[in-house]
Amino acid sequence: MKRADRGDRHRSGQRFNLKSECHPDLAVNYPTHFTVRMRRHQKIQLVGTSVLVTGLIAALVIYLMARAGSSVQNMPDFSQDRRFNLELERIGGKSAVYVAAFDRWLSGLWHGTALAYTVGAMSVVVALVCFWLANLMSYPLAEVAQPRSEKSSEGQEI
C-alpha cells in the first residue's frame, strides 16, 4: 500500500493499523489511533485554561520576585512636585497635567507588585474571553431563515 493511500484513508476517518502497514520490526502494540479529535470549542477552552494557569503562575513568580527587592521605589519622583505640575500646567495647560498623571499611573503598572497584578488580571480577562467564545461555539448554528416569498399564504401579493 502506498504512503499517500494510507494518509488519505487516515484523514477520512479510518484507523491506521500499525501491524499490517508498517515495517515488521516497528509493529509494536501501540494504540491504533494516535490523534485525539477535539472540537473547536474544546480547543479554545484548552487555550483559555492554559492562558489562565500560565498567567497566574507568572503573576505569582513576578509578585514573589518583586517583594524580594524593590530598589525602584527608593528613587525620588520629581513629577510629584508641586512646582513641576505648575510649570507643566503653564506650558501645556490642564490637559497636560492630566496626561502626565495618567502616564505616571500607566508606567507604574509595569513595575514591581503592580506588574504581577496586571499580568494576573490580563490572563484572567483573556481566559474569560476564550471561555465565552468556546461557549458560543458549542451551540449549533441556527437554521438559516427562508426568504419570504412575494405572495402571502392567501395568494395575494404583498
pLDDT at res. 104: 85
**Residue 130 included in any domain:** yes
Looking at the fold, whether 126 and 57 belong to one and the same domain comes out as: yes
137/44 Cα distance (integer angstroms): 9
pLDDT at res. 64: 92
pLDDT band at 49 (very low <50, low <70, confident <90, very high): very high
Taking Cα atoms as reference points, which of 32, 40, 41, 27 lies closest to residue 13? 32
pLDDT at res. 67: 76
Q: What angle do CA 147, 149, 150 make, to 5 degrees?
A: 135
pTM over 0.75? The answer is: no
Looking at the fold, whether 14 and 25 belong to one and the same domain comes out as: yes
**Residue 152 included in any domain:** no
Residue 144 has pLDDT above 80, yes or no: no
Give me the percent of the chain exceeding a pLDDT of 90: 27
**Residue 126 included in any domain:** yes
More confident residue, 23 or 40: 40
**Residue 91 included in any domain:** yes
Domain membership of residue 22 as a residue range: 1-37
Residue 22 has pLDDT above 70, yes or no: no
Residue 4 has pLDDT above 70, yes or no: no
pLDDT at res. 38: 74
Looking at the fold, whether 88 and 112 belong to one and the same domain comes out as: yes
Taking Cα atoms as reference points, which of 21, 76, 68, 52 lies closest to residue 125? 52
Looking at the fold, whether 57 and 19 belong to one and the same domain comes out as: no
Could you tell me the CA-to-CA distances from 23 to 28, 33, 116 in Å, in that order? Answer: 10, 17, 53
Could you tell me the CA-to-CA distances from 83 to 41, 42, 64 in Å, in that order? Answer: 56, 57, 36
